[in-house]
Amino acid sequence: MYYRHFGLNGAPYQFTPSPQILFLSQAHREARAALEWGFLHEPSGFTLLVGETGTGKTTLLLSVLSQEYKRIRVAYVGSPKLGFEGMLRAILRQLNIQTRTDDRLAVMDAFSSCLARLKKGERLVVVVDEAQGLSDDLLEELRLLSNCENGDEKRLQFVLVGQPELLERLMKPHLRQLNERIGARVILNPLERAEAFAYVDHRLAARQGRIKKIFARNALAHLIDHSGGIPRRINVLCHNAMLLAYSAGVKKVKLVAARTAVSEYENLFQSARPFTSKQSSSRPGWKALWRVGRPAAALLTLGLMGTAAAYFWTVAKPYDWIPAMVGGASPVSSAHNPRGEASPLFSNIPHIHPKGIVYLPADDSRYQE
């Protein structure tokens, strides 16, 4: 594997959640504390964790779930497309609870019985990942489900984990009741620039590597500046840059490898490879096209000039204009004008209506990433 080329004992930049080598920035520490509070103490029944894709929400969540809580039973729902009954059945299966049938009433009764059997101080925490995909009706069902408890002690806790659009949806008037019920709220922001450098160093150190030995300073700065502080994007760019250095047989990632990795990542659906000299020679440039087309253009120009001259002297008949311009009548004009009156200036030129030209506005639409 390529990581052995750099003296590492494993791949430092993985694309699956790795709670074992979790890097805790200031935002991640605050988010983890809020999640633990929601698991153990939040009285409202709802905790919200929001962050952009790749900021480490699932990794942080798994690190909290890996802890052993004596009085907490946890169920994890990773698909928002199960529907209400499907979600309840998934929760009951994780709690090893069987139902007689799969209809709504039987599932609801089994879930209510599960809550009733919890001892004092015990809690059932239901973690819903990718919660931005939940329908409005399902969000309302979860709110109503949280009302099924009796007593002062809150035993059912929902932890909603999703992307920023979930927060925007909760601000809509028809979801205001659920929004007012949410207690602890955490927004997981991207890493600051200094934190991004520390993140790269942390991942390498976990695999017995050193950042100064593997990345040139300007190369790593280029990768981080194009990552936006998103940990998953940092993983992709560093991984690809190291692969390029490995392919070139060098032990350190230089700026050229970093630029290539960024270019390939940002132009995924476009060819980032420039034309080689062989490819360029097979395609005529503008100068070559001009050399080939110059004689043809000259012949075309002469032909147009000849046609215009023929039209001018046969149809327009400019020799009729001269006497009219000086006040006399020419023999030709007298033949066409029995009275011998002077023809008005340009009277023999046919009237030509200009053609309309439609100007199309430039298309300034942009592609989305």
Last residue of a domain, one of 244, 266, 288: 266
Cβ–Cβ < 8 Å for 98, 91: no
* Integer Cα distance of 104 and 240 in angstroms: 49
Map tokens 């209400």 to a residue.
Answer: 84
pLDDT at 61: 87
Same domain, 48 and 184: yes
Same domain, 155 and 208: no
Residue 357 belongs to a domain: no
Of 104, 70, 69, 79, whose CA–CA distance to 89 is shortest? 104
pLDDT at 340: 41
Residue 310 belongs to a domain: no
φ and ψ of 19, to 5 deg? -60, -25
Cα separation values, 96 from 78, 89, 92, 93, Å: 18, 10, 6, 5
* Integer Cα distance of 135 and 193 in angstroms: 36
DSSP annotation of 182 reads: -
Same domain, 119 and 58: yes
Same domain, 320 and 171: no
* Integer Cα distance of 203 and 289 in angstroms: 54
* Integer Cα distance of 32 and 44 in angstroms: 18
Same domain, 184 and 207: no
Residue 275 belongs to a domain: no
pLDDT at 178: 93
Same domain, 63 and 173: yes
Query: Reduced to 3 DSSP states, what percent helix, strand and coil does the chain have, rounded to the nearest 5?
Result: 50, 10, 40
Same domain, 205 and 176: no
Residue 16 belongs to a domain: no
* Integer Cα distance of 265 and 174 in angstroms: 40
Last residue of a domain, one of 225, 241, 266: 266
Residue 289 belongs to a domain: no
Pair type for strands 156-162 and 184-188: unpaired
* Integer Cα distance of 126 and 158 in angstroms: 5
pLDDT at 332: 37
Q: Which residues of 92-108 are buried (b: 16+ CB within 10 A; e: fewer)?
A: beeeeeebeeeeeeebb
Residue 363 belongs to a domain: no
Residue 42 belongs to a domain: yes
Same domain, 178 and 48: yes
**Percent of the chain residues past pLDDT 90, beyond the cut:** 36
Same domain, 180 and 213: no
Residue 14 belongs to a domain: no
Same domain, 106 and 255: no
Domain membership of residue 330 as a residue range = 316-343
pLDDT at 58: 86
Helix (H) or strand (E) holding 9: none
Q: Which residues of the chain are under the pLDDT cut of 70?
A: 150-151, 268-369
Number of domains in the chain: 3
pLDDT at 326: 37
- Kindly report the pTM of this predicted structure: 0.67
pLDDT at 368: 38
Last residue of a domain, one of 188, 212, 235: 188
Cβ–Cβ < 8 Å for 152, 101: no
CATH number at residue 35: 3.40.50.300
Same domain, 204 and 175: no
- HSE value, Cβ hemisphere, 13 Å, CA-based, for 175: 18
Q: Which residues contact 229 (CB under 8 A, 6 or more apart)?
A: 189, 190, 191, 192, 193, 195, 196
Taking each helix axis from N to C terminus, what angle separates 231-248 and 255-266, rounded to the nearest 10 degrees? 130
Same domain, 235 and 339: no
Structure tokens at 177: 């009741």
